[in-house]
Structure 1
Amino acid sequence: MSTQARRGNTRQRIQDVALELFSEQGYDKTSLREIAEKLDVTKAALYYHFKTKEDIVIGLFQDLSRPIDELIVWAEGQPRTLEAKQELIRRYSESLRSAEPLFRFLQENQAAVRDLSIGESFKSRMLTLFGLLREPGSELTDQVRCMTALFSMHAGMFAMQNLEGDPEEKRNALLEVATELVTAANPPNRRPARPDSAQTVSP
């Protein structure tokens, strides 16, 4: 195994263990020393890859949010049809599979995330997806449907843990509800509301 590959594995292990501890104990209550001890490495070895806890989170966010970035690029090249928006929601559901640990961290460390640089990055991605789902000048209720469709999918991952059932069936149920919301917000024969007569949410 090459040195680069070994370093890559170490970096990944640090991220995995840190994310586990952040989710279990909270971001603020977890120290770099605890992460190093859990990994059975020295703090110096940890510092070689990450100088601060925020550096670890930024690396995690970049790695786990890459599928969402790719989805945004794809969606921006599609026509603004109902079919394209339904496909966007379906692909978003798929992207959450790999990003699930990140969303768990965001959900369980909301106060800490607000003070980290990734907080604004995450908000920006959500607003970009929202802008791709809603029609310009759409009614406020339809904008709420589009935003709820997005947040119901990753918030639902945690809420659904308390419901009995197969994980894949629960994931499909969340996707079905989100798709229904997007469809209701984008009926094929409805004209968009006039921008000067409707309340809008800036993307």
Structure 2
Amino acid sequence: MGERRSGTRERIQAVAVELFAEHGYDKTSLREIAERLDVTKAALYYHFNTKEDIVVSLFDDLIAGLDEIIDWAKDQPPTPETRQEIVRRYARLARERPKGMMRFIQESKTTMQELAPGEKLHGRFNTLSAMLRSPDASLTDQLRSRLALVPVSASAFMLQDADATDDERYEAGLELALELVSPRPAAAD
């Protein structure tokens, strides 16, 4: 029974994200979510009372995944290999999110600021990006570490018009992210 509930919860989250990405958070109603799911509003209310509850649950799940990466990384030596593994783990996490979620995050800055999880999420991204650079990183390398998370998160929707599968889009984002955290060759004098 718990597995069925969890599957329903994930289905609701996925459909809600689809609709938020298509129409925007403010223009999507619980009724539309229920209709797309082909369930009654009462069935939807069994799992979530409001759109905010759905969004909060999505971000709570994402934050829990980010916390797992951060906890793992804290116990690792601060090496280029660790930084690359952080990016790989983040890429897997991003790929597991409902399709459209990363687009929703990128395009819903106002909604994100209004909801409590938005601040937590921002803090986790700051922590991860700090783990992707050495303590003495130049300003340019600090920017690289912050940017490294973007192609992983955004590749699916930024490349949506490319003739590629979702897997190929994610792989392209991962490849670029890994380049951004890879050691830079020393500048020639």
TM-score normalized by the length of structure 1: 0.78
Secondary structure of 2:148's counterpart equals helix
The whole-number CA distance in structure 2 between the counterparts of 1:175 and 1:169 is 10
The whole-number CA distance in structure 2 between the counterparts of 1:176 and 1:9 is 31
Match of 1:175 in 2: 174
Match of 1:85 in 2: 83
Match of 1:153 in 2: 152
Give 1:64 shift: 4.2
- Residues 124-203 of structure 1: matches in 2 within 5 Å? 124-184=123-183
The 1:86–1:10 alpha-carbon spacing in structure 2 relative to 1, beyond 3 Å, is closer
Runs of 5+ consecutive residues of structure 2 not aligned to the other structure? none
The 1:168–1:7 alpha-carbon spacing in structure 2 relative to 1, beyond 3 Å, is closer
The whole-number CA distance in structure 1 between the counterparts of 2:90 and 2:163 is 24
Deviation sequence 1:148-176 (CA, Å, 0-9, x none): 11112212332222223454444333322
The whole-number CA distance in structure 2 between the counterparts of 1:131 and 1:138 is 10
Secondary structure of 1:18's counterpart equals helix
Give 1:83 shift: 1.5
The whole-number CA distance in structure 2 between the counterparts of 1:9 and 1:168 is 23
Runs of 5+ consecutive residues of structure 1 not aligned to the other structure? 191-203
Kept in 2, the 8 Å contact 1:106–1:113? The answer is yes
Deviation above 6 Å: which 4+ runs of structure 1?
Answer: none
Give 1:53 shift: 0.9
The whole-number CA distance in structure 2 between the counterparts of 1:113 and 1:37 is 25
The whole-number CA distance in structure 2 between the counterparts of 1:77 and 1:56 is 33
Kept in 2, the 8 Å contact 1:65–1:99? The answer is no
The 1:86–1:23 alpha-carbon spacing in structure 2 relative to 1, beyond 3 Å, is same
The AA in structure 1 aligned to 2:133 is R
The whole-number CA distance in structure 2 between the counterparts of 1:33 and 1:90 is 37
The AA in structure 2 aligned to 1:17 is V
Match of 1:67 in 2: 65
TM-score normalized by the length of structure 2: 0.83
The 1:173–1:11 alpha-carbon spacing in structure 2 relative to 1, beyond 3 Å, is closer
Give 1:16 shift: 2.4
Match of 1:33 in 2: 31
The AA in structure 1 aligned to 2:122 is K
The whole-number CA distance in structure 1 between the counterparts of 2:182 and 2:60 is 31
The AA in structure 1 aligned to 2:45 is Y
The whole-number CA distance in structure 2 between the counterparts of 1:54 and 1:42 is 19
Match of 1:198 in 2: none
Kept in 2, the 8 Å contact 1:85–1:132? The answer is yes
Residue from 38, 44, 47 that aligns with 1:46: 44
CA RMSD of aligned residues (A): 2.5
The 1:91–1:28 alpha-carbon spacing in structure 2 relative to 1, beyond 3 Å, is same
The 1:137–1:17 alpha-carbon spacing in structure 2 relative to 1, beyond 3 Å, is same
Match of 1:15 in 2: 13
Structure whose alpha-carbon radius of gyration is higher: 1
Give 1:145 shift: 1.0
